[in-house]
Amino acid sequence: MYKWKGLFTASILIFAAVTGTSMGPNPTRNAQSRREPPQQPPDQDPGRRMPEGFTPIFNGKDLTGWHTSQTNHHGTTPEFRVVHGVIVGTQNPRGKGGILLTDKKYKNVEVYLEIKPDWGCDSGLFLRSSEAGEAYQVTLDYLPGGSMGGIYGERLTGVRGPGAGGSNQATATPEERARRADEARRLAEAWQAAWKREAWNSVRARIEGDVPHITVWINDQLITDFTDTANHAANGSTDGMLAIQMHYSDEKTKRWVDAGFWRWRVIAVKELPAN
């Protein structure tokens, strides 16, 4: 009896990882208590979409063309796996995340994702990344107070993108802190209006120029249009790998929930001509 009970439990957990089905209390009924952005029930999922001009770089079968960084400070989790045509990711060991990098480098490129994260789990899309994960990051912090669609310099200095949070707050002037707070408020309003809770969502990000100009859309709604003041990429690089991230977590930096997953069912690119 215990053997069958264990098999049944394992099957339920796998189903939850792939589909994003909550195994706890009704998430809609308890959205406010978890501080998840309130939304109307999502429309029926139309299925995968491939925008015109884009080429998939995830083949829906395995991780050909991708590799896990062994030098990233978030960790080296092996838990990027393909299940039923979807990349699912979680921490392993507990608290340790990591990044999954493309083998190929890109300069001017537009990236299209279809994603379905669990609430409380922090991810990101890395642009022009080094092997260690030094990159311009499109923030995908799906957790209380998180930033979705902002721009952050991951292990970079000098990037002042919207949604960068507390980076360099200690040296910022009162005017600069007020400006960042206003940016964060407007960013939160924009992404929460566009986001479909407990459904598949699309994220599209474009980076172009030696001095990066980055534009981000969620579900075809413009979220961020940011031009850096200079090229702050690692070693002044004007190209790099793409990466998807699972953030590390600990008692001081709570960026993941136990048994939480991120899911990516479409990752595609459109390479752009040089400016």
Cis peptide before 93 (omega within 30 of 0): yes
Which has more confidence, 43 or 25? 43
Per-residue pLDDT, 247: 97
Q: How confident is the model at residue 39 (pLDDT cuts 50, 70, 90)?
A: low
Which residue type sits at 95?
G
Q: Which residues 6+ apart lie within 8 Å of 11 measured at CB?
A: none
pLDDT digit string, tens, across residues 249-275: 999 999 999 999 999 999 999 999 987
Q: Characterize the bridge pairing of strands 221-227 and 213-218.
A: antiparallel
Cα–Cα dist 198/97, whole Å: 22
Which has more confidence, 167 or 8? 167
pLDDT digit string, tens, across residues 50-66: 999 999 999 999 999 99
pTM for the whole thing?
Answer: 0.84
Cα–Cα dist 91/248, whole Å: 8
Does residue 177 form part of some domain? yes
pLDDT digit string, tens, across residues 139-179: 999 999 999 999 999 999 999 999 875 455 566 788 888 88
Does residue 21 form part of some domain? no
In the chain, how many domains are there?
A: 1
Which of these, 224, 222, 218, lies nearest to 201 by C-alpha position? 218
Does residue 71 form part of some domain? yes
pLDDT over 80 at 189, yes or no: yes
CATH value at residue 147: 2.60.120.560
Q: Where in the sequence is the domain holding 178, given as residue range(s)?
A: 52-271
Cα–Cα dist 185/199, whole Å: 24
Does residue 184 form part of some domain? yes
Query: Token pair for residue 148?
Result: 């979705």
How many residues would you count in the chain? 275
pLDDT digit string, tens, across residues 84-124: 999 999 999 999 999 999 999 999 999 999 999 999 999 99
Does residue 237 form part of some domain? yes
Cα–Cα dist 145/140, whole Å: 11
Q: Name the percent of the chain lying above pLDDT 90.
A: 75
- Helix (H) or strand (E) holding 193, with range, is helix 174-194
Per-residue pLDDT, 16: 56
Does residue 26 form part of some domain? no
Per-residue pLDDT, 140: 98
Per-residue pLDDT, 44: 82
At residue 239, the 3 state secondary structure works out as coil
First vs last Cα of the chain: how many Å apart?
Answer: 66
